[in-house]
Amino acid sequence: MIPAKADTRRQILDIAENLLLDLGYNGFSYKHISSALGIRNASIHYHFPQKSDLGVAIIQRARRRFWRWSHSEEMQKRNPLEKLDAFFILNKKFLHAGGQCCLGGVLETCFKTLPTDMQMETQAFISDMLGWLTELLRDGRERGAFAFPGDPQDQAIVIMSSLQGALQVVRATDPSLFEAAARQIRKTVKSEK
C-alpha cells in the first residue's frame, strides 16, 4: 500500500508543471506550490533545493513522457496520418486543461531569463520533439500519406510552431478557434489521394 503523502516529490512536480504552463516560469513561486499542497515553503526546498532543479525535473519528466508516448506499442501500430492526429490530440489536451500553453512555448518565451541547465534541457526537449516530427513527416511523405513541398524539417517546425502559437493566440481570442486552426494545419500536409 502507498501512503497518501508518500511521494510529495511527485505532487510538487504535478502542481509546479501546471503552474508553469498556466503562468510561465517567472509567474509562479514556491509559495504557490506550498499553499496548493498544504505544506511549508521550506519542505519544497528539501525536494528541489533550487527553483531551477524543479524546472529541470519538470522538463526531464516531460521528455521521458514524450519518449514513452512516441515509443508506445499502441503508437507503433499507427500509420503516419494517425500518428500525426495523435500529436494534434496531444496538443489539444493543453487547451482542455483550462487554456494552458505547451511546455516548449512557455520555456522559449522566457528562455533568456532561464539558468543554463534549464536552457540546455529546453533545447533537448525541443530537439526530441522536432526530431520525431521530422522523421514522421519524411516517412509519411515517402509512403504517400503526406504531400508537402521542401524539407521535412522545415515542415516539422511549421507544424510545431503553429500548434504552439495557436494555443497561445486562443488565450486572447476564443478557445474554440483552436480546433479550426488545427484542422487547417492538418490539411496542408495530408495527401489528397
Which of 91, 104, 133, 146 forms a contact with its own copies (CB under 8 A)? 104
Tell me: does residue 180 bind its own copies (CB under 8 A).
yes
Q: Which three cell numbers stand for residue 1?
A: 500500500
Q: Report, in Å, the least distance between residue 10 CB and DNA.
A: 11
Q: Which is nearer to its own copies, 7 or 154 (CB)?
A: 154
Residue 163 interacts with its own copies (CB under 8 A): yes or no = yes
Q: What are phi and psi of 20, to 5 degrees?
A: -60, -50
The full 3-state SS of the chain, as one line of letters, equals CCCCCCCHHHHHHHHHHHHHHHHCHHHCCHHHHHHHHCCCHHHHHHHCCCHHHHHHHHHHHHHHHHHHHHHCHHHHCCCHHHHHHHHHHHHHHHHHCCCCCCHHHHHHHCHHHCCHHHHHHHHHHHHHHHHHHHHHHHHHHHCCCECCCCCHHHHHHHHHHHHHHHHHHCCCCCCCHHHHHHHHHHHHHECCC
Q: Considering only residues 35, 50, 72, 113, which one is a binding residue for its own copies as defined by CB under 8 A?
A: 113
Interface pick for its own copies out of 14, 18, 24, 39 (rule CB under 8 A): 24
Candidate residues 7, 27, 41, 79; the one interacting with its own copies per rule CB under 8 A: 27
Q: How far is the CB of 182 from DNA (least distance, A)?
A: 33
45 binding DNA? (CB under 7 A): yes
Q: Does 134 bind its own copies (CB under 8 A)?
A: no
C-beta closer to its own copies: residue 10 or 27: 27
- How far is it, in rounded angstroms, from Cα 35 to Cα 27? 15
Site map (CB under 7 A) of DNA, residues 100-139, x = contact:
----------------------------------------
**Which of its own copies, DNA, none does residue 186 bind to, with CB < 5 to 8 Å depending on kind?**
none
**Residues forming beta bridges with residue 146, ordered by sequence position:** 190
Where on the chain is the footprint of DNA (CB under 7 A)? 5, 8, 28-32, 38-43, 45-47, 49-52
